[in-house]
Amino acid sequence: MHPSKAIIIGSGVAGMAAAIRLTLKGFAVSVFEKNAYPGGKLYAFEKGGFQFDAGPSLFTQPENLQELFELAGEPIEKYFTFKTVDIACKYFFENGKTVNAYSNPALFATQIKEQLGENPENLTNYLERSGQLYDKIGTLFLDHSLHRNKTWRSKNLAKAFFALKFPYLFQTLHKYNSSLFTSPESVQLFDRFATYNGSSPYKAPAMLSVIPHLEQNHGTFYPHGGMISITNALYNLAKDKGVQFHFDSPVQRIIHHEGKVKGVVVNDENILAEIVVSNSDAYFTYKNLLSNVAGAKKISQQERSSSAIIFYWGIKKTFDELQLHNVFFSQDYEKEFDAIFSTKQLSDDPTVYINISSKMEDGHAPAGKENWFVMVNTPCDNDQNWTSIRHQLRKNVISKLSRILKEDVEASIETETVLDPLMMQEQTAAFKGSIYGTSSNSKWAAFFRHSNFSSSIKGLYFCGGSVHPGGGIPLCLKSAKIVSELVTANAQNPII
């Protein structure tokens, strides 16, 4: 008996993880990718001897990967290794204060007391609440489909709703943080976690206070070889398990008939399959692959997440005061987010994030030099003049960094590459260049995020950052698991 066939559209992290999981369930899986390489946003490039991870730069929850390799019966060490990062992030404030967010809770608490005058108990209590929120609510909502009846019949649902206190839904993250910390710097530091899914702390609900648990309680990690090693590990595991990859092969259309998926069209050829999983942006899938104008319009009406402009700078010296992850905060955080989500422009004083993987291992930059991944959150594309914005932003970023680091940063730039929202849309089909699909600037946003399956086309599923449970590597891997479980459940019982 021939195995059932499954097609994955896109070889991002979620697409490859879904391919592995379906292969292990006995499907003959083919992945079609429009680019010449796997990974989607998680790719890398080299310029002038500097290696850059182009997309996601933060690695948390390694157990999502470990589980996948265990399921495949392969030792993860054969494909992928990583280590703990002692300082999750270093924060720089405009008033001259700095904070090392140590992974060790006691050291972190000491830092905010010494540097910010914050009561250490405030941090301890906050992170304890964050952990409880994740354990009681996060695991239910992030690990399961919110659009499946079985989820709402779960015995854990009552426990989750009991833990869902008023502030988590009806206070903004900023208001919640302001009630638990006394120093404005501590509030700003924890407000920042709203950006992890492209949202504003002044609009997003306090439910997002669950995010620090993953970085500070659970740990921050560094993959040996850089973030691209995650892509390489998934790609190699998928190939070893028999997944077939087709690069430079954009899917033109999803074939469906009488409410059932039939396959896809690639290079004007019909390729048939009982299961199709789109790892492409949900809006792009509806508009371009399903020709479903109404479906695409419904998605487009939801507020987009933020996007970003990234400068990849080869720096011809080292900065000893910098860590792997660094954040240079703006003076007026609320003004910055108002610009991003209201006026759709950039503040003159943006918050700047810098990732430097050469801090963790040799070979990512020539000796005595550093590879800087310099990212600023921006609005998604709304026909702004990105050429002009990039030019002005570069000046503002260099001015800010030079002032705080007391060094002429521009004089140290040896190589430069830039990525903006329009380029992101072109490379990854992310609608309007929004990194995380829809924003979470509403207490109901999680429930309106697109489901992991089609309610009208049997056999069509969705994974990746634009659908439930959201963007970022951990959630993309979770979406692949949800899809795999849905495929099994749907085979056993069509009513899901």
- Interatomic CA distance for residues 88 and 323, integer angstroms: 9
Q: Return the pLDDT at 385.
A: 96
Write the DSSP symbol of residue 57: -
For 286, the 3-state DSSP assignment is: helix
Side chain identity, residue 269: E
- Interatomic CA distance for residues 162 and 172, integer angstroms: 20
Residue 495: which pLDDT band, with cuts at 50, 70 and 90? very low
Mean pLDDT of all residues in the chain? 93
Q: In the β-sheet with 28-32, what is the strand arrangement from edge to edge?
A: 244-246, 28-32, 5-9, 275-278, 460-462
- Report, at the CATH architecture level, how domain 106-213 is classified: Orthogonal Bundle (1.10)
Calculate the CA dihedral of residues 233, 234, 235, 236 and round it to 10 degrees: 50
Pairing of strands 460-462, 275-278: parallel
Q: Return the pLDDT at 150.
A: 63
Sequence-ordered list of residues with C-beta below 8 angstroms from that of 371, at least 6 positions apart, any chain: 50, 51, 52, 312, 313, 314, 315, 356, 357, 358, 364, 365
Residue carrying the six token digits 């955080």: 333
Instruction: Average the pLDDT over 41-65 and give the result.
Output: 96
The CA-CA-CA angle for residues 457, 197, 314, to 5°, reads: 115
Residue 276 burial (CB count, 10 A): 27
Residue 450 burial (CB count, 10 A): 23
- Structural domain spans, the chain: 5-42+61-83+227-303+440-492, 106-213
From residue 128, give the alpha-carbon distance in Å to each of 121, 218, 273, 458: 10, 11, 47, 42
The pLDDT tens digits for 343-355 are 999 999 999 999 9
Residue 455 burial (CB count, 10 A): 9
**HSE of 212, CA atoms in CB hemisphere, 13 A:** 29
Give which of 46, 48, 42, 55 is closest to 11, Cα–Cα: 42
Peptide bond into 205 cis (omega under 30): no
Residue 447: which pLDDT band, with cuts at 50, 70 and 90? confident
Residue carrying the six token digits 């080869």: 314
pTM of the model: 0.94
| 461 neighbors 446 (Cβ within 8 angstroms) | no
The pLDDT tens digits for 304-344 are 999 999 999 999 999 999 999 999 999 999 999 999 999 99
Q: Return the pLDDT at 380.
A: 96
Instruction: Say which CATH topology domain 5-42+61-83+227-303+440-492 has.
Output: FAD/NAD(P)-binding domain (3.50.50)
Lowest mean pLDDT among 199-203, 443-447, 485-489: 443-447
Q: Return the pLDDT at 496.
A: 43
Q: Return the pLDDT at 141.
A: 74
Backbone angles phi, psi at 209, to 5 degrees: -70, -5
The pLDDT tens digits for 192-251 are 999 999 999 999 999 899 999 999 999 999 999 999 999 999 999 999 999 999 999 999
From residue 334, give the alpha-carbon distance in Å to each of 177, 339, 380: 14, 9, 18
pLDDT of 149 strictly over 80? no
| 89 neighbors 216 (Cβ within 8 angstroms) | no
Q: Return the pLDDT at 420.
A: 97
For 12, the 3-state DSSP assignment is: strand
